[in-house]
Structure 1
Amino acid sequence: MDGLIALFSDPSVWAALTALVVMEVVLGIDNLIFISILTNKLPEHQRRKARRLGIGLALFMRLALLSAISWLVGLTAPVFDLGLQGSPSAYGEPSFETQFSWRDLILIVGGLFLVWKATKEIHHNADPRPNDDVFDVARAGLSFGAAIVQILVLDLVFSVDSILTAVGMTEHLPVMVVAVVCAVLVMLFAAEPMANFINRNPTVVMLALGFLLMIGAVLIADGFGVHVPKGYIYTAMAFSAAVEALNIWSRNKRAALAAAAEPPTHFPQG
């Protein structure tokens, strides 16, 4: 206990904790978007339960990975080498890595799954099946289980990336635990409003699926050693979200003006 008090009395630790919480929240946005889109496909009475269960699994998985942090760091060690040379870049080095670690394989598989899932959902939204609501209700139990399994798969991918980022930012395990718990609590409180907002605005669904498609491609590239700075990714996402917010504001403004211009349908009795 005295060690924890001494640790958190250091201003540099609080600075590292603040930076790590912000980073974990930003990294958690991807996971939250996926959970929101997936759970919105469930019947109304199952959505909140699925969101809470999915986010709870994310917290459990990240704390479990923190407890085995030495094993997790070992996932970055190469496990095999293809023995190939990528085409040289502008600096004369191979454009992609030929040595792969377990972390690389997890990112590649997770990225492929995310690209497949986002593409499937985009196709579903662009070409919905007839009597879709009846079909979904008929398989509600299966849909809930399938949703939890898919959330669990993505939780694993995002958790590995999240914890390895935490390890690179601080060496203090209590700081990592506090940052992860704070980030997951933010996700828990933001899950319901985000899911409801996405559900009310169909165009936001397509934008969010586009985000997931991009994130999946970035995960695959990262697994092959092509590291795209996350600042570029999140800046592009923020810009797209700002443009979509202007579109929503414009649509709501036009709808309000149209409603105000409509003549009254009922006249007071004289």
Structure 2
Amino acid sequence: MTEFIIPLLSLIALEVILGIDNIIFISILADKLPESQRNKLRYWGIGLAMFMRLALLGLISWILKLDKELFEFNDVSFTGKGLILIAGGLFLIYKSTKEIYHKTEVANSGGPAEIKKVSFKKLLVEVIILDLVFSVDSIITAVGMVDELWIMYTAVIVTVLIMLIAAKPISEFISKHPSFKVLALCFLMMIGVSLIAEGFQFEIPKGYIYFSMAFAFLVDIIQMKTVPSTANK
């Protein structure tokens, strides 16, 4: 029994960590919508992420081919997975940079922020693009960790349930604290850089990225707690 439980728990933990990127991205996009549509985008985005992962698990033989070399350029091997990660990383950096630029422009302009109407369908398409990138990365990682297909299916379903529970609180927290929204966007930029690096066969240990962002998050929390008390003196 232990030989199944340990790999299952390990895979769930890894999938949850990888799923955080998805939740943050969906949360930031959902914040652009009216209150009545935000939950809808979260549920659709996370639901589609589960559907993609389960569908890709059913195409294991095709997925494994994505990790095989397609061509070589300047002594760097490129695979199908690598090209998907590079495209996803560029898209993530573009979206994050655009959001940070927009927030900076609004903050520095003297007038009121210009409210732009955003289409639910347009945001859903953006979520689907990132869902696909993260799903491919997630499934190939799962295949490398365990051999039993039922463990992968179970881990995906449990992870998505955790994401559904965590999505709303994370979304509301990011929405209420603008400084954390900028931090989250910087986090997504770092993930985009790591995806591109991985696509070029240069893997940045994700532990370094998550540790640095956790430390920055802790500093922001401390600053948020101490600044008001300092102001009251």
TM-score interval w.r.t. the shorter chain?
A: over 0.9
* Residues 81-126 of structure 1 deviation map (CA, whole Å, 9 limit, x = unaligned): 22x23xxxxxxxxxxxx22111000000000000000000000111
2:141 to 165, 171, 178: 165
| Gap runs ≥5 in structure 1 | 1-9, 86-97, 259-270
Q: 2:22 matched to which residue of 1?
A: 31
**CA distance in structure 2 between the aligned counterparts of 1:108 and 1:185, rounded to whole angstroms:** 28
**CA distance in structure 2 between the aligned counterparts of 1:252 and 1:173, rounded to whole angstroms:** 52
For residue 127 of structure 1, give the secondary structure of its aligned residue in structure 2. helix
* Residues 246-268 of structure 1 deviation map (CA, whole Å, 9 limit, x = unaligned): 1222245457x58xxxxxxxxxx
Q: 2:62 matched to which residue of 1?
A: 71
The structure-2 alpha-carbon separation of the partners of 1:21 and 1:253, relative to structure 1 and needing over 3 Å to count, comes to: farther
Q: 1:200 matched to which residue of 2?
A: 176
Letter matched to residue 181 of structure 1 = I
Q: 2:163 matched to which residue of 1?
A: 187
Q: 1:100 matched to which residue of 2?
A: 78
1:217 to 193, 202, 217: 193
Letter matched to residue 213 of structure 2 = M
Letter matched to residue 37 of structure 2 = Q
* TM-score of the two chains, using structure 1 as the length reference: 0.81
**CA distance in structure 1 between the aligned counterparts of 2:164 and 2:41, rounded to whole angstroms:** 12
Q: Does 1:115 align with 2:93?
A: yes
Structure 1 runs of 4+ aligned residues shifted over 3 Å read 129-133, 251-255
**CA distance in structure 2 between the aligned counterparts of 1:68 and 1:251, rounded to whole angstroms:** 52
Q: Does 1:177 align with 2:168?
A: no
* Residues 37-56 of structure 1 deviation map (CA, whole Å, 9 limit, x = unaligned): 11101111111101110000
- Residue identity (%): 49
1:60 to 22, 37, 51: 51
* TM-score of the two chains, using structure 2 as the length reference: 0.94
The structure-2 alpha-carbon separation of the partners of 1:252 and 1:21, relative to structure 1 and needing over 3 Å to count, comes to: farther
Whichever of the two has the greater Rg, that structure is 1
Q: 1:13 matched to which residue of 2?
A: 4
Q: 1:51 matched to which residue of 2?
A: 42
The structure-2 alpha-carbon separation of the partners of 1:22 and 1:241, relative to structure 1 and needing over 3 Å to count, comes to: same
Q: Once the 2 structures are TM-superposed, how far is the Cα of residue 241 of structure 1 from its aligned partner?
A: 1.2
RMSD: 1.5
Letter matched to residue 245 of structure 1 = I
The structure-2 alpha-carbon separation of the partners of 1:144 and 1:254, relative to structure 1 and needing over 3 Å to count, comes to: farther
Q: 1:92 matched to which residue of 2?
A: none
1:239 to 207, 211, 215: 215
